[in-house]
Structures are given as structure tokens and as C-alpha cells.
Amino acid sequence: MAFLRDWPVKLGALVVAGILALYVEFAQNVTRVQHVRVTVPPIPPGLVFASRVPSFMDVELYGPSELMDVAASDFKMQLINRRPVRGENIFRVKMSPELPSGLEASYPKELKVMLDEVLYRELPVEAAYDHSMPLGGIRIRPRTVVVVGPYQKMAEMDRVMTLPVTLSGSGSRSIRAVLADLPDFMSLAEGQPNEVQLDVWDKQEKDPTYETVEGIPVRCSNNVVGLRLRQPPSVRIRVPIQGARADQFRASVVCPVFVDPQTRQIRPAYLISIFTLEVEDVLKRTDTPIIMDGVLIDSLQFEKADTPLPGPVQQGQQEHIFR
């Protein structure tokens, strides 16, 4: 038959033609990766992000080389979820505007995002310094700052630290200390300072003009209704005041706990490590620093009294304290 004549040559020509066609097609198409900015999606009032939303996404573009002259800044990645709720949410990812005809884009079509209720906490500031250095006392001002962030993460916080400071020198001295960076998703509330003042004084040797005062009860500085210390500890001090009595002084420590309005439990725990302890003369009879004497307490234990605890609204008002 005529069409079978020289069929090997004809078949070879077809194969070569196919290879050339594929070569021409793929030689004109290229692949390029663009870093496209992600638009942070709106979320309902009262919720905050509890997981990181990427600032950029890698988008793989494929198509003719002559169409690749597009800039990443001309596009954005939109995260879409009509009803975001507390917990894990799936956001649909969409690139906009539409690509020119002939270009294709490959990128993740979904993104998991964690949301949580917003919580404000008034937390004590603690100074980071070498505790092996004997001190007569330390005072921090302001004593607390308000921090805002996701409920679950904020509920576990018990303090805000300063960057490490060196308490060199002798006598009474003041030092400015910058607050350390907060954990992810947490920040200082609006209007809060990012540094504190540390007033430090030495322990000094025993001075015959100083009198020892024992049995000053430690009180918990906290506005939670129904919260109290279990077996409140007491401290001993030395002051240059003749005839000083324990009831003329007030020892306090900031207790950074709150009552969870859902579980009605104290968080972050019923037992915490002690914070900076401050003692003041109620009668304000001298400007001489009060010397802490003896072994300090290393922990405090809380309990709930048998009194009604605040509801969610009242609790929220107590926690949203700005100074």
C-alpha cells in the first residue's frame, strides 16, 4: 500500500516534528517565584491573633516569558473567612487582581489561623540583675504595667522583665531599666511606659542606730475579690527609728493572678515564686531606706475565700486597669 511505503522515514519525521513542537512550546514558557504581600484579614472585635500570619507568600508563576514582566507589588494575597471565631480558623487564600491571560499561579489555597479572646493584664515589673549581689532593698517604679494579648497566652504570664541591669556602685542609687521584649502576640497596652526606674540601696553592715523589727505580715496587692494568701508570711527589717513597731510598716508584693470567669479557677497558679517585696513606713517618719533583713520568702500560695467571685463583666473591668 502507498501510505506504508517508506513508513520508517515517515514515522521518524513525525517523532522529530513532535519533539520540535514540544521544544518550541516549553522553550517559550518559564517559571518564576514572586514574594507577594499578604493582607492581614479583619477579625471581630474582642478577638486577637494567636498564631502568626505571614507577611509574604511565595507564588510560583508559570507561562510565556513575554508575560512575566509583572511586579509582585502589583498583587496581594487576600485571606477570606466570613465568620472567624475563637480557636482554629481556615482562611481561603486568593490572589488579586487576576493574572494576565496565559499566566498560571501556584500557591497554598488555605491558611490555618488561630484566634483568641483579647485579655488585658496588669502585671508586675521585675528587674533582671545578679541576685548574688547582697542588697538592702530595691524599689521599682512604675511597679506594674498593663499588657494585652491572646487570652490563653496572657493567662500564663506572671511578670514583665527588664533587660539585664548592672547594680554597680554603693549607697542609694537610681537606675533606668528598659523592659525586655514581650512574647509573641503580646504588647504593652497603649500609654504604658517601656522603661522603669530602679531605686537600689545596699544591705550595709549592722548599725547600732538601726532597730530590728520583726513580724511584719506580707500583704498581696491584688484587686481580685475573694483572693487571699494561705498562711501569710512575715518579714524582718532594720530601720533607724527608735521604738519602731511592726504595725507601723506595710509589706506588700504584687500578686499577678486573676480568676478565670469560665472555670472560676485562679490563674496562672495557686503557687507562684515571690516577686520584689516592698516595705514602707506607714507614718513616713524617715527617708532612710528600710533594710530587708533575714531570709526572704521564695514562694506565695493563694486560695479563694468563701465569698462570691466577680462575674465576667466585673472581672473584665478589674483586669482592664490602665495607669
**Among 113-117, 257-261, 307-311, which is the least confidently predicted range?**
307-311
Percent of the chain with pLDDT over 90: 50
CB 160 within 8 A of CB 195: no
Is the bond leading into 142 cis (omega within 30 degrees of zero)?
yes
Whose grid coordinates read 483579647? 118
Residue 76 has pLDDT above 90, yes or no: yes
SS3 37: strand
As annotated, the residues of the chain forming the CATH 2.170.120.40 domain(s) are: 118-319
E-strand stretches of 20-162: 29-39, 47-49, 56-64, 76-80, 87-96, 104-106, 110-126, 135-141, 144-150, 160-161
Q: How much is the pLDDT for 230?
A: 81
Q: How much is the pLDDT for 313?
A: 41
Q: How much is the pLDDT for 8?
A: 61
Q: How much is the pLDDT for 23?
A: 47
User: What does the pLDDT look like over 299-310, one tens digit per residue?
Assistant: 888 887 764 444
Residue 12 has pLDDT above 70, yes or no: no
Over range 197-203, report the average pLDDT.
91
Neighbours of 150 (CB within 10 A): 22
How far is the C-alpha of 240 from the C-alpha of 191, rounded, in Å? 39
How far is the C-alpha of 245 from the C-alpha of 250, rounded, in Å? 11
Residue 234 has pLDDT above 50, yes or no: yes
Over range 43-68, report the average pLDDT.
93
CATH architecture of 28-108: Beta Complex (2.170)
SS3 25: helix
Q: Which residues contact 253 (CB under 8 A, 6 or more apart)?
A: 218, 219, 220, 221, 274, 275, 276, 277, 278, 300
Residue 206 has pLDDT above 90, yes or no: no
How far is the C-alpha of 71 from the C-alpha of 67, rounded, in Å? 11
Which of residues 300 and 54 earns the better pLDDT score? 54
Over range 185-203, report the average pLDDT.
95
Percent of the chain with pLDDT over 70: 84
Q: CA torsion sign, 92 to 95 to 99 to 102?
A: negative
pTM of the model: 0.78
Q: CA torsion sign, 306 to 307 to 313 to 314?
A: negative
Q: What is the mean pLDDT of the chain?
A: 84
Residue 71 has pLDDT above 80, yes or no: yes
Set of cell numbers at residue 153: 497566652
Question: Closest Cα partner for 40 from 25, 28, 27, 57?
Answer: 57
Q: How much is the pLDDT for 149?
A: 97
User: How would residue 19 be classed by pLDDT, with cut points 50, 70 and 90?
Assistant: low
Q: How much is the pLDDT for 48?
A: 96
- DSSP assignment letter at 194: S
In Å, what is the CA distance from 96 to each residue of 40, 73, 86? Answer: 14, 11, 27
CATH tag, 118-319: 2.170.120.40
